[in-house]
Chains A and B, each alone.
Chain A
């Protein structure tokens, strides 16, 4: 029973999924109601998580499910992002005619899967969580089924993701074979010596995880899926799975294989450098904002991985800080995208932003702040995110990684500047609608304010994150 008390948030979400499914089927035309109830249940789940004792540190169910400070922080982050995604995209799904009862329920399913991933301390539990979130995401990507791009992106995501899950599962079985256990702590105990099979297992699992956070060279799905999916799903893709996958990365690398650091460190460094550079270069030629942000997030994941590659607690903390700030920046960016609406049609090409600053000064100002922050220019939040990463990296004397990363920021600055140029320097076009729903406005204002004002009190988040216990 004690175990059950600690997973009340997960239980609550599961019950809400079943309840909403039945409720939605029996009550006609209830899609909007179900959507709102989902948001409410996310808020309630958030309250339940915060309500749990922050100091608690326990492993449940035969040591396969962790409730600790890392899980707590990441779950709060996850559910908060989920709430903001729901708030900002409610109007979008109505207008794009994808407002069906399944939509919010699928989102809840995938959030539940991610929560399981975040807490998992066992290969099997982790895989279960991963599949639960992935299956929901396949459907979500192709939710706008009349649109050929959306269908394509769903199918593409499904095929590639299934492949990567297969690799991951193969890796799990190899590790099981060589360590005789699936429990993370036990694996650590049983694998004092390096064996080839074990290394292969680590590599396969890393490949699967790299696929989930779209690190180069396993990024191919990201641009197409980002572009093809409905924007409300793209924002979901851009935020939540990254939190879950990063947490698994941390747990996987720092609990069972912490002592085999030299085995995986080079892989992570390679993934990191490749993502930073490729993401920066490939985004230059893009014309579609969603596609551009896909490459941009590939590049940002490279920086988060750079923090992980240090094999130190400081590095992990810097990665968590990075992902937190990354979430806020992307949330702000997508909120701006949701505002580019004219006569019930959403615009998502870079050219559509032309001269935006003359008609919509406030919206352009937020975009300006977000883009400079994404580019990592001080004094905005994005700079601090990169700063912490590089402090951790240089502390480990990895100068090459730091210099490559910083040069990649200069390349990346170019395409962010190009958008700013189009917004501020180019001639104006037709006006967009200026009426938006409250949730969207609130999301944009809150996230932009966070980015702008972060420098006033940067210690706040760092202090919270520095209390996270990794081992």
Chain B
């Protein structure tokens, strides 16, 4: 493999953005820049699909590794994928074209700038998932803040300035400590290369502090209770495409970071902090589910449900069992699809009625039947009905948790019930009931491009719900290796006193 396929994946969206930026266009030609963006993102999707097909799932090592000298004698630009990261890349390249399609309805002004922001953001997101050097990772991780800040701030709702600032400063504050930790790792081991660090290991006496520094960054980004408050604000004010990217991909960076770095680099510390993560995850699952029940605003409700779902993810990762970690990754992919779809659904009705208040709707089933069907699928996916991808993830996570701690698993299972409660109640209030409001009656059913985007999301949710094999297959070896390599099982046994 001499062709630098990963670098092409990273660079292609930026090239597209530069193209859109430099080609002069009048107002009427904005459409053409949309087609350019769509073409680029689709090309990227097919490229990553090709990557997934040629990717050898039975090998433990990182594949398609590229290494170039970057800051001489210090940091190398190093990218590569294993079974875990390839799924996230695929998710990114799949969601981005859908976002580009939705700009049709949602973005009224400065379309060109918006497309550039989305494309640049895609570059950074893919970069996060394939970087194999801590500094390169940090670079991409932080750089993503800039386009997202602009997306929320320029194209957002009424309180966009407040939300954009909150988003930016919260995440920045979390990440600066990670930078200290990364430099400290360099100081301790003399390298920031992740593969070398996996081999070298980090002295146990440093691990706890370093783990906490990484945790501060990932916990804000995940987001975990109690630092989740930026997420509802950011979601509510962001335009539809922004919410979709935020929920589907940006949140997953943190989950990915937990697996790749927290578990991979600091296994001892991870074990030490298991009780902390368990408690925070359980609070997130129960508390934010209860908060979600009380929301008047659709986007806020889905945002809180995201926090609860990410609670399952962190719980699963820190069970440190094969099922738990696989379940978490599956849950992240599934949540990426489902939450993206739910935000698109909210976007659909918001474009028609310009309100997100739940009680302004009701009885949509009789005037928007097509919408009711897809929304049904996504609701069921979100609450984890068997037969949707949401079920597999939650089931595996709970299975991992039951192996470790029955009390934790029981409480987490309660969260599943609460999840069903708020999602079904939301569905009931919007879709069923009586048609009262005059303006609701005038709403039209899904347009063609909306049908396309939403059904594109329905298919994988149901497909992976019935046949999760392709995804599990892809991550199985890498997760097993992660557990093997760090002796997580042995550590577990020691801790349990066997």
Contact = CB atoms under 8 A, between A and B. Distances in A.
Contact of B169 (A397, A402, A414): A414
B165 A421 contact: yes
Contact of A410 (B72, B169, B183): B169
B145 interface: yes
B183 A379 contact: no
Contact of A407 (B71, B143, B176): B176
Given A406-B179, A424-B154, A463 B72 contact: yes
Interface residues of B, number: 34
Interface in B129-169: 135, 138-140, 142-143, 145-146, 149-150, 153-154, 160-161, 164-165, 168-169
A459 interface: yes
A369 to B, nearest CB: 9
Interface string A388-404: 00110011010100110
Contacts, number: 82
A410 B173 contact: yes
Contact of B176 (A409, A420, A425): A409
Most A-side CB within 10 Å, residue of B71, B149, B160: B71
Contacts of B154: 424-425
A420 B152 CA distance: 13
A417 interface: yes
B292 to A, nearest CB: 29
A377 B145 CA distance: 9
Given A390-B183, A399-B180, A462-B72, A417 B143 contact: no
Contacts of B72: 459, 462-463
Given A372-B146, A417-B168, A458 B183 contact: no
Contacts of B168: 413, 417
Given A413-B169, A413-B172, A421-B161, A394 B139 contact: no
B70 A458 contact: yes
Interface residues of A, number: 31
B62 interface: no
Interface string A128-158: 0000000000000000000000000000000
A391 B186 contact: yes
A341 to B, nearest CB: 25
A390 B183 CA distance: 8
Contacts of A391: 74, 183, 186
B169 A455 contact: no
A459 B143 contact: no
A261 interface: no
B420 interface: no
A378 interface: yes
A403 B179 CA distance: 10
B187 A394 contact: yes
B31 interface: no
Contacts of A414: 165, 169
B142 A425 contact: no
A406 B153 contact: no
A406 B71 contact: no
Interface of A: 361, 372, 377-379, 383, 387, 390-391, 394-395, 397, 399, 402-403, 406-407, 409-410, 413-414, 417, 420-421, 424-425, 455, 458-459, 462-463
20 contacts: A377-B142, A379-B139, A387-B179, A391-B183, A394-B180, A394-B184, A403-B180, A406-B176, A407-B176, A410-B176, A413-B172, A417-B168, A421-B161, A425-B153, A425-B161, A425-B164, A459-B71, A459-B72, A462-B71, A462-B72
